[in-house]
Amino acid sequence: MARVPASTQTRKRLEQLFEGRGPAEGDRGELVKLAAQLIVEEALEEEVEDVLGRGYYQHGDASGGHRNGYRRGKLDSAEGRIDYAVPQVRGTVEPFRSAIREALGSRTEELERLAIEMYARGLSVRDIEAAFTDVNGKSLLSKSAVSQITERLWTDYQSFAGRELGEHRLVYLFIDGIAERLHLGQAREAVLAAWGITERGEKVLLGLCPGTKEDTASAREFLRDLKTRNLNEPVLVVSDGAPGLIRALEEVFPKSLRQRCLAHRVRNLEGKVPAELWREVKAQALAAYTAASPMLARLAKEEFVKRFERELPSATACFLDDFEACIAHLRLPIAHRRVIRTTNLLERLTRMFSMLTARGHIVTVLQLPNVSHQQISPSRFKSVRPVGEIMHLVPPARLRESVEAEGYIQLESRIVVSQGGKQFQVQAFARPPSPTVDTDAEQ
């Protein structure tokens, strides 16, 4: 197999992440780490090209040095450890030491900023130059190297921001404003992020929009851009309570149910309740928000009002505000509700992947404690196709209960260990065959 630059492999991992096929799809932290890794590897590869005077695939006189593979480098950041590939150079007159690698230790915040900005609005020549300078502010890369890096990363941005979304049949859409520092030394800016869960249970990052205050005009333009790229109208959209964002969602996706993020709502409610009463208030609020049905939620709402309307009028008004949007998730399958009632990525369900074998058996495989289907390929399940139903969102602890309610019986449940040492729980189910008449035998 032909060798390729490390940055090419990292770029493929980012593409998989965007398509919902990565090990932590939809995860902001994984996006930041992979994007920062790509930027670092691009800079290191261009630094080596400057030293050797030729590109990765170019042949030439090796008397001035040659590439000799990669070694692993690591960088600690707020999102966790970033692993990156460090090109090795041999045969130079003076031993090669990467000035860029030596400068990275103090640049983690800058790299994280660039990682978000790279996919929010693209990077400029000035961004790249400022990221890789020595202590005196002198650029560590030549102008041509900076230009080439910027051109490739700008192409990555355009590909991400303009990619076709019609292939992702979305069921649930999540819109949230996250605060990111897009300019070093300046205040954080709001970046509107959109991601979704598809019919196959994949989490897909759809887009990032910088510089918004979740106002109607900015949100409307962002959402319309998603629809222009053929994003289908989801069953449900989830957002916080920003009025401008809500108006935009209702304009652009008028047929979708709208769910108010309960994590935001509960935090707002807590700010209006004395500490000594919070435990009781929270319990009664959650009794309504997580009731078994919308009807029971409305009954619980009436009980909340009776109990707290006089004692806590502001908390009661907060509880009642946009109440129907707070319980929209109760109109959807029980197995999905926990994952769709908040925009908080940290509260997503443990991932699993269900497959249908040729014999009609559902096989569900999940890594302990987390998995995506790209990490597994048990040989006995190679000839499978994805299940069309959204069974992937059922929490593992409730999988058997949920599947058996659909008429399936469990065939097996066991732990398998991959060659890499990872543990997977494999559960297989089958629907009992319906009684049939053997017409051939009768004849």
Q: Which residues contact 365 (CB under 8 A, 6 or more apart)?
A: 352, 353, 355, 371, 373, 376, 378, 381, 424, 425, 426, 427
Q: Which residues contact 160 (CB under 8 A, 6 or more apart)?
A: 18, 119
Residue-level pLDDT at 350: 30
What's the pLDDT tens digit per position in 238-250?
998 889 899 999 9
In angstroms, the CA 172 to CA 192 distance is 17
Go through 287-315 and write b for each residue having 16 or more CB atoms within 10 A of its CB, e for each that does not: bbbbbeeeeebeebbeebeeebeeebeeb
Query: Are the C-beta atoms of 300 and 288 separated by less than 8 Å?
Result: yes
Residue-level pLDDT at 195: 87
Residue-level pLDDT at 328: 94
What's the pLDDT tens digit per position in 414-439?
666 655 555 555 666 565 554 443 33
What's the pLDDT tens digit per position in 181-208?
555 555 566 788 888 888 877 888 898 8
Residue-level pLDDT at 242: 86
CATH among 3.30.420, 3.30.160, 1.20.120, 3.30.70 for 170-258: 3.30.420
Taking the complete model, does pTM exceed 0.85, yes or no? Answer: no
In angstroms, the CA 98 to CA 122 distance is 26
Helices of type H across 162-239: 216-228
In angstroms, the CA 391 to CA 277 distance is 39
Residue-level pLDDT at 380: 37
CB atoms inside a 10 Å sphere around CB 36: 27
- Give the count of alpha carbons within 13 A of 170, CB side only: 27
Domain spans of the chain, in order of start: 6-161, 170-258, 263-345, 349-430
The angle, 0 to 180 degrees and rounded to 10, between the axes of the packed helices 313-320 and 262-270 is 170
What's the pLDDT tens digit per position in 64-87?
677 777 888 888 877 778 889 888
Q: Which residues contact 296 (CB under 8 A, 6 or more apart)?
A: none
In angstroms, the CA 77 to CA 417 distance is 31
Tell me how many degrees the CA angle 113-114-119 measures, rounded to the nearest 5. Answer: 110
Spell out, as residue ranges, where the chain has pLDDT lower than 70: 1-2, 21-28, 55-64, 93, 106, 179-189, 211-214, 344-443
